[in-house]
Structure 1
Amino acid sequence: MLRTTILTTTALAIAAPAFAAEVNVYSYRQPELIAPLVSGFEEASGHTVNIVYIDKGITERLQAEGGRSPADLIFTVDISRLSEAKDAGVTQAVESEVLSTNIPDAMRDDDGHWFGLTTRARIVYASKERVGEDEVTTYEDLADPKWEGRICTRSGTHVYTIGLISAMIEHNGVEETREWLEGVKSNLAKAPEGNDRAQVKSIWAGECDISIGNTYYMGAMLADPEQQEWANAVRIEFPEFKDGSGTHVNISGVAMTAGAPNRDTALEFMEYLSSPEAQEIYAEVVNEYPVAVGAEPSELVASWGSFTPDDTDLTAIASHRAEALKLVEEVDFDAGPGN
């Protein structure tokens, strides 16, 4: 059963017929990460934003609700989930000069079905004690035997991992990516398990020397007294693809539902989310990078270093997600080294 938490409204209210000055959102992002944006928009517009937090299955829920759905927008993370929603027919195209101006081409759907709000880089966490600075320079390098028994990562089937593998396919083709994935598997210190923070804990514990993770987890660990020691044991390295295209980034984004009952108010909220002001608020709360032109990352995020983001069209990368999952299964990645 889906777990939901409702903010700024009651279960009865969001299920009731919509009003003109309301917008209803289904969100994968946790309530505390959305609250500052909701407050900012409500204060600026006078409208009411109703948020339903759903930890999984937004697309399936929208399909089940069909034309009865109260949802106007979905907030989600990862290009795969945004593409999945579009492919399932639960989103609609949006035309907006504001969105087109504020959000770069590579960070929005060619057909206008979804728009990126923030980005995160898929980077390497490296032990300060056991890994030299700039020792990790490319993603392809992770398959080098020098890392044998030294890499930790989460499941190969997780959307974050699938996103990176999909990007590898886009840059290097399926067969070279298969070889790379086999090499990374051989270099694992243990079978994939846990989340990105668990991998950093393993580095701190001496179980491995490097791990693959998203940048924003550094901010999350530094904010948690129990995890600060893990964070302080590592530094962030920004590998690039060997063709020089830059560091892999993924997005959090927003899309309008196919049957949005409050379309005009929903569009107004989307445009607000793309504004430099809202972008900086959101990016600071989630420890990510804003996508809007002119918006700056927080001081903490900027302190992790600069990098060149891969500007490959995210739609092209997402198109390989089925191939990426197939490769993970074919090489039995999650079985770990020696299997």
Structure 2
Amino acid sequence: MFRIPLACAAAAILAACGQPTPAAVPDAATEASAEAAGQSINIYSARHYDSDKAMYARFTEVTGIKVNVREAGAPELLETMKAEGANSPADLVIVSDAGALYRFQKEGFTQAVRSEALEAAIPAQLREKDGHWFGLSKRARVIVYDPQMLPIEEVDTYADLADERLRGEICVRSSTNVYNLSLLGEFIGRNGGEAAEQWAKGVTANFARPPEGGDTAQIEAVAAGQCAAAIVNHYYWVRLAQGTTEQRLKAAKTTISFPDQDGNGTHINISGAAVTASSKNPNAAVKFIEFLATPEGQALLTSETKEFPVVAGAALPEGLEVLPEFKQSDFPLDQLGVHQPEAQAIFDRAGWN
């Protein structure tokens, strides 16, 4: 149970998707090195952050391997790879959520990778057991609430959100969002489908409004008094609290609860990467993942997103220092995707649109 002081973050910047283009323009020496090496990798990324351009450029500087990037949402990238089939030029896929990575794996678009460096740096819980994907940064699915409307005791577990005392007080995004599917996927894995359905129906009965918008919109709704509590990923609050004066004022009206500290711990998910089955340069793709699993790579990966690093000893991004240490769920993330079809069916039956 935690009540957190304010301070923090930066807003994400959406980028347009398109055909693979160079992620950054390296200096002449670096470019010459890459061309001399004759190596490049094509990355399909669901991330849309300016800081990633520096990340790609630094990798090229260190290794001489040129990086080309195609950006789009994970569902769009998945459909693109289905259309491309075995001829897909993608060497690497980067997406948010273990459940999304599972979808690429299930379609046969990833390959197993063995890397002593990755297995040593990344905890087993945060990677697929056979090396089909690797988690590279963490996010916590938390409860943001208005302390003027609710005491912490009423929102210190996920189960609290289904309690009838919160009728008309809950804001949340659509059930089709992968973050919510993974959260319910863990609930199914731990407690079974029947208990998961009871919880989903209870939360739906407590909606202050139909699901709409992203996680930032849920925090803003709490700040505006439209609801008393919302389910969001931690970094949306951190970014808001480090944003413009208006954004900081909105964050100042809310507080974060890390649920289930006396139980299984707060639900954790990842952003991660997978080497594609069609990769023409898998060794270079593995080198890129290994680079992101170094302290330098972790800093480049998380500085703008405000996610948690996964590598021991990696520095926290600015803004996360105000968050307390908290108990994290140890649920194996490679199981989240397995339960997502059942999770969607449960949400549908519950009327969580």
TM-score with structure 2 setting the length: 0.87
Amino acid at match of 1:307: F
Task: Tell me: CA distance 1:174–1:251, structure 2 relative to 1, closer, same or farther (3 Å).
Answer: same
The yes-or-no answer on 1:173 pairing with 2:175 is no
Aligned-residue Cα RMSD (Å) equals 2.1
Amino acid at match of 2:90: A
The yes-or-no answer on 1:154 pairing with 2:164 is no
Which residue of structure 2 lines up, in the alignment, with residue 337 of structure 1?
none
Task: Tell me: CA distance 1:269–1:175, structure 2 relative to 1, closer, same or farther (3 Å).
Answer: same
Amino acid at match of 2:148: E
The correspondence of residues 109-258 of structure 1 with structure 2, limited to 5 A, is: 109-225=128-244, 226-240=246-260, 244-258=263-277
Which residue of structure 2 lines up, in the alignment, with residue 302 of structure 1?
321
Alignment partners' CA distance in 2, 1:236 and 1:314: 23
| Identity level (%) | 36
Alignment partners' CA distance in 2, 1:36 and 1:200: 30
The yes-or-no answer on 1:48 pairing with 2:63 is no
Alignment partners' CA distance in 1, 2:249 and 2:291: 37
**SS of equivalent residue, structure 2 residue 336:** helix
Alignment partners' CA distance in 1, 2:204 and 2:261: 18
Cα deviation, 1:42-98, whole Å, max 9, x if unaligned, reads: 222122111111134212211211232221101100111100000000111111000
Alignment partners' CA distance in 2, 1:140 and 1:154: 18
Alignment partners' CA distance in 2, 1:46 and 1:3: 24
Task: Tell me: CA distance 1:8–1:137, structure 2 relative to 1, closer, same or farther (3 Å).
Answer: closer
**SS of equivalent residue, structure 1 residue 60:** helix
Which residue of structure 1 lines up, in the alignment, with residue 55 of structure 2?
37
CA positional deviation for 1:208:
0.5
Which residue of structure 2 lines up, in the alignment, with residue 78 of structure 1?
97
Which residue of structure 1 lines up, in the alignment, with residue 5 of structure 2?
none
Unaligned runs of 5+ in 1: 11-18, 335-339
Which residue of structure 2 lines up, in the alignment, with residue 13 of structure 1?
none
Which residue of structure 2 lines up, in the alignment, with residue 102 of structure 1?
121
Unaligned runs of 5+ in 2: 1-15, 26-36
Amino acid at match of 2:122: I
Cα deviation, 1:257-290, whole Å, max 9, x if unaligned, reads: 1111122211111111111221133122210011
Match for residue 22 of structure 1 among 40, 57, 71: 40
Asked whether the equivalents of residues 72 and 262 of structure 1 are also in contact (C-alpha less than 8 Å), the reply is yes
**SS of equivalent residue, structure 2 residue 182:** helix
CA positional deviation for 1:201:
1.1
Which residue of structure 1 lines up, in the alignment, with residue 9 of structure 2?
none
Amino acid at match of 1:183: G
CA positional deviation for 1:124:
0.4
TM-score with structure 1 setting the length: 0.90
CA positional deviation for 1:7:
4.0
Asked whether the equivalents of residues 154 and 160 of structure 2 are also in contact (C-alpha less than 8 Å), the reply is no
CA positional deviation for 1:31:
4.1
Alignment partners' CA distance in 2, 1:260 and 1:273: 19
How many residues get paired? Answer: 326
Alignment partners' CA distance in 2, 1:181 and 1:166: 12
Amino acid at match of 1:47: I
